[in-house]
Amino acid sequence: MTTMTMAKALNEALRQSLDTDPKVLLMGEDIGKLGGVFRITDGLQKDFGEERVIDTPLAESGIVGTAIGLALRGYRPVVEIQFDGFVFPAYDQIVTQLAKMHARALGKVKMPVVIRIPYAGGIGAVEHHSESPETLFAHIPGLKVVSPSNAQDAYWMLRQSIDCDDPVIFFEPKRRYWDKGEVDTEAIPGPLHKARVTREGTDLTLAAYGPMVKVCLEAAAAAESEGRSLEVVDLRSLSPMDFDTIQASVEKTRRLVVVHEAPVFLGTGAEIAARITERCFYHLEAPVLRVGGFHAPYPPARLEEEYLPGLDRVLDAVDRALAY
C-alpha cells in the first residue's frame, strides 16, 4: 500500500504492464520525452525505449489505425489521446474498424487495444479540452468503456484493460489526476466491469463514475448532516454496465439520481434511467433523475463551475427525488 496520485497510479500501471508483457506498446503524441501533457507516461520512454513508448505523428486516425495493425501483428497497443476533444479524428477507425474487427473475422483475430482518454472538465481549459464523450463509445457494440474514479481503481482497471483481449476505451478523469489515494499493487482486483457501492445509505442512490464520484460522496456527506442517508455507487464500467449492483441498491433505497458531466440528453444516465425503471418498476418511489451537462457546447472556463454538476445541483436533484 502506497499513497499516490491517480496520475502516478496510471504511470505505475503502464510501467508494470510494459514490464510484464513485451507485447505491450504505448503510442501517442508527446508521450516520449515529455511524458505526455499530463505526464502519465513520465519516464517510460527512458526506461523502455523508443520502440515501446512511441511518439507518433500528429494524426489521431493514424495512431488508432496503426495500433489496429500492430494488434493484428500480436502487439497490445495502449494509445494516449491527448485530450477528449481530439479523439474525433480517430472516431472512424475506432467505430468502423477497431470495434468490428473481431466480429468481422468471426473471432479469428483479437483487438487488445486500449485507448486512454483524459476527459471531462474542471481544469479551466480552453475549448475541446473538457468534454465527456462516453456515450459516443458506450453506444458502440464491440467496444468496452471504463472510467476509474480513484487512484486504486486507476491502477488496476488500467492493468486489467491492457490484459483484456477487447478494445477498451479508458476514460481518465483529468481533474482527479492529482488526487491522492492508497494504491495496493499487490491486491487481487475485483472484476473490471463491476460497479462498487462506495458509500452505503438507505434513502436514495447516487450513481456516478469518473470525476463525479467525488462530488457524489461530498453530496452524501452533506446530506448526512441533514439526516439523509445516501448510497453512492461508483459505476466504474460504462460498457458493460453493472446494472445488478445499481438495481440492488435501488431496491433498497427506492430512489436513484444519476450524475455525469456529459450532456443529459442521451447521456449514460438515460440508459440507466430506462433500464433501472424497467428492472425496478414497482420499487421506485420517484422517477430516476439525472444531473448532467446541458445541451450546449462545453462552455468557456469561466462558466464551467456553473455548467458542471456540483454539490448543489446534486442535492437539488436529491431533494426533488425525495419530494415524490
Ligand X SMILES: Cc1ncc(C[n+]2csc(CCOP(=O)(O)OP(=O)(O)O)c2C)c(N)n1
Catalytic residue IDs: 129
The x, y and z cell numbers of residue 130, run together, are: 473538457
* Closest residue by Cα to residue 173 from 8, 298, 3, 6: 6
Residue 277 interacts with, from ligand X, other proteins, its own copies, none (CB under 5-8 Å by kind): its own copies
Q: Which residues contact 224 (CB under 8 A, 6 or more apart)?
A: 230
Residues 74-113 interacting with its own copies (rule: CB under 8 A): 85, 88-89, 91-92, 95-96, 99-100, 103-104
Comparison of 24 and 257: residue with beta carbon closer to its own copies: 257
Question: Distance (Å, rounded) from C-alpha 320 to C-alpha 324?
Answer: 7
Cell of 49: 525505449
What's the grid cell of residue 64? 488508432
Q: Of 62, 65, 89, 189, which lies in the binding site for ligand X, with binding defined by CB under 6 A?
A: 89
C-beta of 62: minimal distance to ligand X in Å?
11
Q: Are strands 180-183 and 2-5 parallel, antiparallel or unpaired?
A: antiparallel
Q: Pick from 62, 180, 196, 322 the residue near other proteins by CB under 8 A.
A: 62
Residues 131-160 that bind its own copies (CB under 8 A): 135-136, 138-139, 141-142
> Smallest distance, Å, CB 71 to ligand X?
21
Verify binding: residue 135, other proteins, rule CB under 8 A. no
Min separation Cβ 3 and other proteins, Å: 25
DSSP string, 148-170: --SHHHHHHHHHHHHH-SS-EEE
Of residues 23 through 82, those in contact with ligand X by CB under 6 A are 29, 58, 60, 82
Contact indicator for 265, 231 with CB cutoff of 8 Å: no
| Interface residues toward ligand X, by CB under 6 A | 29, 58, 60, 82, 86, 89
